[in-house]
Amino acid sequence: MTSRLRYFFRRLGLSIPVLLFGTTVTFVAIRFGPVDPVAAILGDPTNAAATEEYERIRGQLGLDEPLWQQYVEFLGGLVTLDLGQSWVVAPNTGTVSLIATYAPRTIWLGFWAVLIAIFVGVPLGFFAGTRANTGSDYVASILGIVWRAMPNFWLAVILVSVLSQSDALLGFSWQQLGPDVTVTGAPDLTELGSPSGFLAAVKQVLPAAVVLGSASMGNEMRIGRTAVLETISEKYVETARANGVPNHRVVWKHVFRNALIPLVPIITGEAFVLLGGSVLVETVFGIHGMGWLFYRASIQGDLPLVGSLMVVFIVLIVAVNILQDLLYVLIDPRIGYTD
Amino acid sequence: MTCGSSDRPVLSVEGLSTAYFTDKETVHAISDVDLSVRRGETLGIVGESGSGKSVTARSLTGMVKSPGRILDGQIKYRHPETVTALAERYPDRVGPPSEHAESDAFVFDGPTDRYVDLAAAPEAALRSVRGDDIAMVFQDPLASLNPVYTVGNQIEELLTIHRGLGDSAATERAVDLLDAVGIPDPARRLGEYPHQFSGGMQQRALIAMALACDPEVLVCDEPTTALDVTIQAQILELLDDLQAERDLALLFITHDMGVIAEIADRVSVMYAGEVVEHAPVEALFAEAAHPYSRGLLASIPSQNPDAQHLPTIEGDVPTPTSEPTRCRFAPRCPEAFDACRDVHPRHVDVGDDQTASCLLYPDEQRRERAVRTHSEPTSEDHQ
Amino acid sequence: MHSNHPTHDDSTDTTGPAEPALRQIREHPRPALVWAGVATVLFALEFGAVASLFAELGTGVWRALQPGSRPTGLVERANAIPTLTSRDLITNSGHFDGDRWVGTFAGLEPRTAWVLRVGLVYAYAIAVVGWCWVGYRRYRRHYRPAEWTPLDDVVDRLRRHRWGQFGMLVVFLFLVLAIFAPTLGTTTVDQNIDNPFGHQIEYYDAETDSVESIAVGTANRQTQSRGIPDRNVGPLSYDQYGRYHPFGTLPSGKDLFTFLAAGARVSLVISLLAVGLASVIAVSFALLSAYYKGLVDLLFVIGSDSVMSLPQLLLLMLLSVLFSDTWIGQLYSGGILLALIYGATSWPFLWRALRGPALQVGDEEWIDAARSYGQRPITTMRRHMFPYVTGYLLVYGSMSLGGAIIAIAGLSFLGLGISPPTPEWGRAVDAGQQYVASHSWHISLIPGLLITLVVTGFNALGDGIRDAIDPQAESGSTDSQGAAVGGGA
């Protein structure tokens, strides 16, 4: 086990240069980009008073210091979680407090998206794999393929419209099914403790989570299916069968556990997509989360905020990567094994 | 035929044919194969790749994968307890052996012979036969072990299924089994994963798994091919010992004549999906009858210690896409003659307990007469 | 299949591989001549278009290098060469004059004329593709020195692969739409979208029973699709000015089909550029990794992990906003910038997919052998390793195209990405957002369906190629993780 632990720590160590790279790229884009951070906030200075303000802000942002010093301060700030403040979107609000407000919604959305994708996609894929080349396999596979190819912003638009008019189109009212929440709008996460509050928050985010997870769902279904097909034809499955292990046990114990292994990078890989794709879904569904915040910060030129948010996203991605490695080490005893 | 089931082979295959139906063509992997093996006896099945050895082994317990299936033939398994158990479970599919061809039965219970025809048995019946009666050990030991479970887990699984043992009893027994197959420090090894075992130990573990089922027949499909020669010798010795201890019937498939010499009591030589010769092992090595067997023996390095070039059999094994209508070995046979391309040879006696399917035999008769005996219908013909 | 060339001893042939083929052609010229003849005819039909393209590119480059030079008449002269697929051959822009259609091809109504033109374009495209296939078969039968190559097996398998053929069909339809967009549209981008007030059309006014003239822009304002029955022009219908709209109109009144056809071209060009760039990087890195292994490979692993840790869509958003006013952001309405960023951030996925096969071939003994007798690394990589990865490159590259198309559409949906008025599919979806459940459902639904279809097509094509080059992977290969692309832009 220790060699596997050592492998894991080695992967952990390799994440550091990755983090460094990502944060540096962000720094370069913000500081060296064609847009002047201060002009983005204030507009170009046209008179003396404006110029003075310009210089003052410049000083506040630390832009008059030598570059290397800016870089060091930037990194230092990241490590101490001093992420500065927003200048345009919510002036004078600390980035950290902004994140505290907006992030939970994204996390809630992402959590359900991942969950739905896994618990719908993977079983469907396994189901199709165990019944390969039969009618139900073809149907499930085609559905998965088309579902996966749909652009999620389009799906979001359709879902919003359909659910808003579910009465006329589907014959029942989405709004009245279960907790009464609007189709668009941010979920209220303050009442998660109570069952009604929890349910309401889940229902609010459910359509968006389905959309966000749609591509992952389709992918996981497809990969799950091929993983099952491959595993079923493995020699150890044949050996188990030949020695009399009953079929359901062969499938559940031998096939599924091994078929899960190639799914791990898929599941964690989808997390990357979620982090980026949430922008579109959040915008359409009116869920004001981190993705939406990033979008607004970008188009409004709130560069300090954008930089900090980008760094946060990068850290999240790296964290997911490490989680993936950890899962791998746990699931597959061959990983990291050295003689 | 002698009376008394104790004298009968525990497993006899008669006229077995299996084919694969692919989009492109139909491959007749094996045609009209006869085999038999007794308790405490080792039958060696030898042939090149593509001769149908593995398909034969898999056909025994219905492990032929789609698009393949058994076309014809009977696989008679004669273990009294199993016959009784299956007769009880499927009372409407029991019949007397004399009505074998016509009835729907697959359990045959008669005064002189009791057996189960595995070729006609339903899947559920086959599942109970697998492991319990006929266990298999395959060729590639690492691939045959599930990499994500410990070896102990996999052995205990079989013990639980076949012997109904609880957790701690199963663990104890698993330790005993690993010990029986010669793995040192078995208790510790139980908790290890397959990739932590060496090749030889993996194969031993697989044998232990097969033994966990307490079978009557052990089928080994090239179990030593992937191993070093020294390890190979150890495994063969192990199998020999186990057979003696448990009175196992051993079906050993290989392409290596040297291994045959070591372990087999009797040999069936296969070529292109057919058995071309049956013989006791000493008779085969002393006086092989079929030209193919002779060719195989001649090409063993140790038989030719002074030769500059090893004799080889020219050509490749054909892939049979139709039922045999002539001798399939004829194109490569050094002793072929015209009739070989028109007449399909049958098995004729060529010695004590030795038969060969070749138009050269019976060799005490003149050529034309001999050929005619292969095409005359006999009283033992079954469709 | 039976070859009719005399057996000759290739083993002592020290001349290049073309030699035996040329000799064959000289000996049996007829099949080659026939093929070349028809090919020339096909090419001549479109020569005008090719000439125009080169003329435009040429003058564009010339003008970039020598600003302020006099305009040559080259482009105009090239455009004047008659081509099969020009709009003017079967024109659908005419007007009704009370009892018949004037100005359209053969007096047919615009819808029929347009359908004919579309049919003609596709027929031509099918003819070209078909004739290339015939050429391949002829070459294989009569002129190729080798009786059989592994490529033949690949082609054979592709011919029987239903799903792959579906992909090929969809991709073919998409490519023709993109390449021939100006011809296939019911009107032109310039007239209807970019500069509607600079063009006039004539139409038949039933009330006054006469032919009137109106600016296109004004007409567009009357043909908007805004969700209510009175203000909607749905698919497959004429508007009140006698213009035919196969897909209906946008909320701005512009023709949706022309918009989408032009948008197809934009999507195709940008995705090809992006995936092309990513492929070049990925292939080079994969081959370098496989040849040198060790530290070089580790560096690439860290590099790719680093690039993969950047949130791609967010970076695209940020950089396209930042650079929107610079010269690079103006190229092709921001498309070049998108392609560059997308390509530079997508290579890790391709690299990972290619690394497997590259490492496999790198382990082969002939690579060591080449290295031992001093062959230059780049030659080894080009000659011995690259052919092994081309197949996989095709597979994963075609699948990546789908992802690129979705990403760009997503950005346009948000209003970033391709700047208006250049058409892009995502923008159409955005424009029709609020009308999805109304009478103007077509505005959002049709582009989305098209995106789904095209991405599915590319994925299917990739699947088909993969099964064709590696049939053992039929039961699935684990390195196809996330290969086929999803709509999670």
Is any Cβ of chain A less than 8 angstroms from the Cβ of C318?
yes
Q: What is the pLDDT of residue A230?
A: 81
Top mean pLDDT of C89-103, C395-409, C463-477 is at C395-409
Q: Which of C319, C436, C482 sits opposite A266 (nearest CB)?
A: C482
Report d(CA C324, CA A274) in Å as an integer: 26
What are A271-330's pLDDT values in tens digits?
766 776 788 888 888 888 888 888 888 887 777 788 888 888 888 888 877 877 777 777
Q: Which of C306, C415, C426 sits opposite A17 (nearest CB)?
A: C306
Residue B13 has pLDDT above 50, yes or no: yes
Confirm whether B2 is domain-assigned.
no
- Interfacial B residues in 199-218 facing A (CB < 8 Å): 206, 209-210, 213
Residue C5 has pLDDT above 70, yes or no: no
- Residue from C163, C271, C295, C305 whose CB has the most chain A CBs within 10 Å, to mutate: C305
DSSP letters for C133-162: HHHHHHIIIII-SSS--HHHHHHHHHHT-H
Q: Judge: A276–C489 Cβ closer than 8 Å, yes or no.
A: yes
> How many domains does chain B fold into?
2
Is any Cβ of chain A less than 8 angstroms from the Cβ of B63?
yes
Percent of chain A with pLDDT over 70: 80
- Residue from A154, A214, A294, A295 whose CB has the most chain C CBs within 10 Å, to mutate: A154
Beta C200-205 vs C101-102: how paired, if at all? unpaired
Which residues of chain B are within 8 Å of residue A248 when distances are taken between CB atoms? none
* DSSP reduced 3-state for B32: strand
Same domain (yes/no): B259, B293: no
Q: Which of C313, C426, C456 sits opposite A146 (nearest CB)?
A: C456
Q: Judge: A244–B143 Cβ closer than 8 Å, yes or no.
A: no
Is any Cβ of chain C less than 8 angstroms from the Cβ of A17?
yes
Residue C350 has pLDDT above 50, yes or no: yes
Q: Could you tell me how many CB contacts below 8 A there are between chain A and chain C? A: 205
Tokens representing residue B64 in the block: 């032929």
Same domain (yes/no): B85, B227: yes
Domain of residue B216, residue span: 11-264
Is any Cβ of chain C less than 8 angstroms from the Cβ of A267?
no
Nearest residue to A5 via CA among A319, A326, A314, A332: A326
Q: Which of A158, A168, A222 sits opposite C484 (nearest CB)?
A: A222
C-beta atoms surrounding C159 within 10 Å: 10
Same domain (yes/no): B91, B121: yes
Among residues B195, B230, B264, the one where a domain terminates is B264
Query: Looking at CA atoms only, how far is residue B128 from chain A in angstroms?
Result: 7
Among residues B264, B287, B316, the one where a domain terminates is B264
Residue C478 has pLDDT above 60, yes or no: no
In this prediction the pTM is 0.76
Mean pLDDT score of chain C, rounded to an integer? 79
Q: Judge: A154–C485 Cβ closer than 8 Å, yes or no.
A: no
Q: What is the pLDDT of residue C190?
A: 76
Is any Cβ of chain A less than 8 angstroms from the Cβ of B197?
no
Confirm whether B109 is domain-assigned.
yes
**CA angle at A261 for the pair A214 and C475, rounded to the nearest 5°:** 80
C-beta atoms surrounding C364 within 10 Å: 13
Chains contacting A (3+ CB pairs below 8 angstroms):
B, C
Per the model's pLDDT, the better-predicted residue between C482 and C421 turns out to be: C421
Is any Cβ of chain A less than 8 angstroms from the Cβ of B75?
no
Per the model's pLDDT, the better-predicted residue between A36 and B84 turns out to be: B84
Query: Looking at CA atoms only, how far is residue A194 from chain C in angstroms?
Result: 33
Confirm whether B171 is domain-assigned.
yes
Per the model's pLDDT, the better-predicted residue between A165 and B209 turns out to be: B209
Q: What is the pLDDT of residue C248?
A: 85
Q: Give the pLDDT band (50/70/90) at residue B82.
A: confident
Q: Give the pLDDT band (50/70/90) at residue A336.
A: low
Q: Judge: B130–A241 Cβ closer than 8 Å, yes or no.
A: yes
Residue C174 has pLDDT above 50, yes or no: yes
Q: Give the pLDDT band (50/70/90) at residue C449.
A: very high
Same domain (yes/no): B134, B222: yes
Confirm whether B382 is domain-assigned.
no
* DSSP reduced 3-state for A172: coil
Q: What is the pLDDT of residue C251?
A: 86
Please tell me which residue of chain A has the smallest CA distance to C489: A277
Omega before residue B362 within 30° of 0, cis: yes
Predicted interface score ipTM higher than 0.90? no
Same domain (yes/no): B236, B123: yes
Q: Judge: A314–C409 Cβ closer than 8 Å, yes or no.
A: no
Same domain (yes/no): B235, B319: no
Among residues B241, B264, B287, the one where a domain terminates is B264
Confirm whether B380 is domain-assigned.
no
Report d(CA C217, CA C325) in Å as an integer: 28
Confirm whether B383 is domain-assigned.
no
Distance of CA B360 to the CA centre of its chain: 27
Sign of the C-alpha dihedral computed for residues C292, C293, C298 and C301 taken in this order? positive
Same domain (yes/no): B229, B359: no
Is any Cβ of chain A less than 8 angstroms from the Cβ of B328?
no
Which residues of chain A are within 8 Å of residue C475 when distances are taken between CB atoms? 226, 229-230, 233
Report d(CA B157, CA B164) in Å as an integer: 10
Same domain (yes/no): B59, B137: yes
Q: What is the pLDDT of residue A41?
A: 67
Same domain (yes/no): B220, B246: yes
Same domain (yes/no): B259, B279: no
Confirm whether B4 is domain-assigned.
no
Average the pLDDT over B108-125 and give the result.
86
Beta B114-117 vs B134-137: how paired, if at all? unpaired
CATH number for B96: 3.40.50.300
Q: What is the pLDDT of residue B303?
A: 66
What are C265-306's pLDDT values in tens digits?
888 989 999 999 999 999 988 888 888 878 888 888 888 888
Confirm whether B1 is domain-assigned.
no
Same domain (yes/no): B45, B188: yes
Is any Cβ of chain A less than 8 angstroms from the Cβ of B151?
no
Q: Give the pLDDT band (50/70/90) at residue B265.
A: very high
Q: What is the pLDDT of residue B383?
A: 42
Q: What is the pLDDT of residue A272?
A: 66
Same domain (yes/no): B86, B151: yes
- Interfacial C residues in 415-434 facing A (CB < 8 Å): 415-416, 426, 429, 433
Please tell me which residue of chain A has the smallest CA distance to C399: A149
Q: In which residue are the tokens 């029986």 written?
A: B180
Is any Cβ of chain C less than 8 angstroms from the Cβ of A157?
yes
What are A102-121's pLDDT values in tens digits?
888 888 888 888 888 888 88
Report d(CA C483, CA C487) in Å as an integer: 12
Sign of the C-alpha dihedral computed for residues C368, C369, C372 and C373 taken in this order? negative
